[in-house]
Amino acid sequence: MANKIARVACREQDPKVRATNFEEVCYGYNLEEAQLEASRCLNCKNPRCVAQCPVSISIPEFIGHVLKGELQAAADTIARDSSLPSVCGRVCPQESQCEGACILGIKGEPVAIGKLERFVGDWKIEHGRTDDQRPTPNGHRVAIIGSGPSGLACAGDLAKLGYEVRVFEALHKVGGVLVYGIPEFRLPKERIVAREIDSLRRLGVVFETDTIAGRTVTVDSLLDEEGYDAVFIGSGAGLPRFMGIDGENLNGVVSANEFLTRANLMHAYDGEYDTPIYAGSRAVVVGGGNVAMDAVRTAKRLGAEATIVYRRSEVELPARVEEVHHAKEEGIEFRMLTNPIEVLGTDKGWVRAVRCVEMELGEPDESGRRSPVVKEDSEFEIECDVVIMALGTSPNPLIAATTEGLETNRRGCIVADDEGRTSREGVFAGGDIVTGAATVILAMGAGRRAAKAIDYYVKAKK
């Protein structure tokens, strides 16, 4: 199926300029561009895009409203299934979800569903009806641990049902990975994330920051002493992994999580803040996911020559296609089929290079991807003064360790069913703490399903 109108390109900052600043890369559509792009949608009877959306947004319906200029109706349509459209429009891996299934993609370019969602979400923030007035209290209280997408989505849905909701967040800022991980140049914090969170505050959700569940409070104290009817755990998977190779303890080796937290949450890139960060003059980032792309592009913006080292080929890169494309435009070097085996240091204990081996692809492994195999006699060195490890993350064990009877699996994830019910009565969980590191939309969907299950549980208990 082809379409005579070409996909409407999104205006972006010039790559050379943006590689030196932290302002948002993509400007988004204006109304005219959005309507032109919306006119490409065929309004399919059996929309393949909806089937591939993890939260089943009524995509042709909202796009139809955009086409007619009915932007409040478009926002209302998305709101039935997603509480973070401005965020998801920017960060969802659309190419493997809705856009990957769009019928127009078979012979041409799919509808830019993500950019249209972002357009509607941003319009709603600026001009939308503020209908999030406080609902009548239903007399029940729910505690949420963690303020990432799963916790926020769960909090919003429960507040709308009249629950008194309090979110306990370990960090000093609310938003989880949306504020500490994903950089400003991809997801503006004050203009977008903070304002989507403000709408929850208007619903009456209370945020208690600098509060660590498992230390300041526990799941048991919330249920038994503080009188909450249920607890939702959405504490994410923020514990970084390392390779376990020699030299990883040298000065200049850092996890992507720490590097990005310093840059984003602690504003190290902003001259007005005195948070230290070291990007060096040549930074090597190990990994190929979104976290690796965010780290390498941040290092570049902080002045380093920046290189991705990834053990598989470009086809297997798990990062969003748009991030890889943007990184290349910004001058990031990609060393594919390359794996570090040692970090080499100076006599003063600082990184001077990584020793690597070349890889080739063998048979598919259990993930279905061809597994990388070391090429014989292929060792070589890449000179650098910073190595950033972006190899994936695991859940922090603190909450499970301090909560009696909460079952976890061998990866340290809390065991929960599809509705978020855990092995402990009254305790629900969702997002990365259950699935391991995944995506914003999946975490948000899990939070919303858990909110329904919590409502059912509390009402059945009465």
Q: Does 146 bind ligand FAD (CB under 6 A)?
A: yes
What angle separates helix 321-329 from helix 290-301, to the nearest 10 degrees?
Answer: 20
d(C-alpha 296, C-alpha 87), whole Å: 21
Q: First CA to last CA across the chain, in angstroms?
A: 55
Q: Does 231 bind ligand FAD (CB under 6 A)?
A: no
Q: Does 238 bind ligand FAD (CB under 6 A)?
A: yes
Contact partners, residue 139, CB within 8 Å, separation at least 6: none
Smallest separation (angstroms) from ligand FAD to the CB of 322: 9
Q: Which stretch binds ligand SF4 (CB under 6 A): 103-111, 294-302, 323-331, 408-416?
A: 103-111
Q: Which stretch binds ligand SF4 (CB under 6 A): 41-49, 196-204, 259-267, 416-424?
A: 41-49
Smallest separation (angstroms) from ligand FAD to the CB of 312: 19
Structure tokens at 153: 């989505």
Of positions 41, 142, 382, 427, contacts ligand SF4 by CB under 6 A: 41
Structure tokens at 9: 């390109």
Contact partners, residue 4, CB within 8 Å, separation at least 6: none
Q: Does 91 bind ligand FAD (CB under 6 A)?
A: yes
Residues in the chain: 462
- State which residue, 140 or 326, has the beta carbon closest to ligand FAD: 326
Of positions 88, 103, 167, 437, contacts ligand SF4 by CB under 6 A: 103
Contact partners, residue 328, CB within 8 Å, separation at least 6: 334
Smallest separation (angstroms) from ligand SF4 to the CB of 8: 14
Distances (CA, A) of 209 to 105, 146, 174, 292, 429: 44, 9, 7, 28, 19
Using CB under 6 A, which residues numbered 288 to 307 contact ligand FAD?
Answer: 290-291, 294
Q: Which option in ligand SF4, ligand FAD, none does residue 60 bind, with CB closer than 5 to 8 A by kind?
A: ligand SF4
Using CB under 6 A, which residues numbered 320 to 349 contact ligand FAD?
Answer: 320
d(C-alpha 103, C-alpha 48), whole Å: 7
Of positions 97, 150, 199, 403, contacts ligand FAD by CB under 6 A: 150
- What's phi and psi for 41, nearest 5 deg? -70, 135
Q: Does 148 bind ligand FAD (CB under 6 A)?
A: yes
Structure tokens at 185: 């140049």
Q: Which option in ligand FAD, ligand SF4, none does residue 91 bind, with CB closer than 5 to 8 A by kind?
A: ligand FAD
Tally of CB atoms within 10 A around 381: 12
Q: Which stretch binds ligand SF4 (CB under 6 A): 100-108, 348-356, 398-406, 414-422?
A: 100-108
- State which residue, 43 or 346, has the beta carbon closest to ligand SF4: 43
Q: Does 36 bind ligand SF4 (CB under 6 A)?
A: no
Contact partners, residue 329, CB within 8 Å, separation at least 6: 15
d(C-alpha 114, C-alpha 92), whole Å: 7
d(C-alpha 116, C-alpha 7), whole Å: 12
Q: Which option in ligand SF4, ligand FAD, none does residue 214 bind, with CB closer than 5 to 8 A by kind?
A: ligand FAD
Q: Does 104 bind ligand SF4 (CB under 6 A)?
A: yes
d(C-alpha 66, C-alpha 60), whole Å: 10
Number of chain positions touching ligand SF4 (CB under 6 A): 14
Residue 160 DSSP class:
H
- State which residue, 321 or 438, has the beta carbon closest to ligand SF4: 321
Report whether 59 contacts 103 (CB < 8 A).
no
Q: Which option in ligand SF4, ligand FAD, none does residue 184 bind, with CB closer than 5 to 8 A by kind?
A: none
Q: Which option in ligand SF4, ligand FAD, none does residue 59 bind, with CB closer than 5 to 8 A by kind?
A: ligand SF4
Of positions 19, 25, 49, 263, contacts ligand SF4 by CB under 6 A: 49
Which of 288, 265, 289 is CA-nearest to residue 277?
A: 265
What angle separates helix 256-263 from helix 290-301, to the nearest 10 degrees?
Answer: 50
Q: Which option in ligand FAD, ligand SF4, none does residue 111 bind, with CB closer than 5 to 8 A by kind?
A: ligand SF4
Of positions 144, 440, 450, 451, contacts ligand FAD by CB under 6 A: 440
Q: Does 235 bind ligand FAD (CB under 6 A)?
A: yes
Distances (CA, A) of 214 to 154, 206, 218, 219, 403: 20, 19, 5, 7, 8
Using CB under 6 A, which residues numbered 60 to 79 contact ligand SF4?
Answer: 60
Q: Which stretch binds ligand FAD (CB under 6 A): 143-151, 247-255, 360-368, 421-429?
A: 143-151
Distances (CA, A) of 193 to 84, 296, 370, 382: 9, 22, 37, 38
Q: Does 309 bind ligand FAD (CB under 6 A)?
A: no
- State which residue, 5 or 373, has the beta carbon closest to ligand SF4: 5
Which residues contribute to the site for ligand FAD (CB under 6 A)? 91-92, 145-151, 168-171, 176-177, 181-182, 212-214, 234-236, 238, 260, 290-291, 294, 320, 396, 398-399, 431-433, 437-441, 443
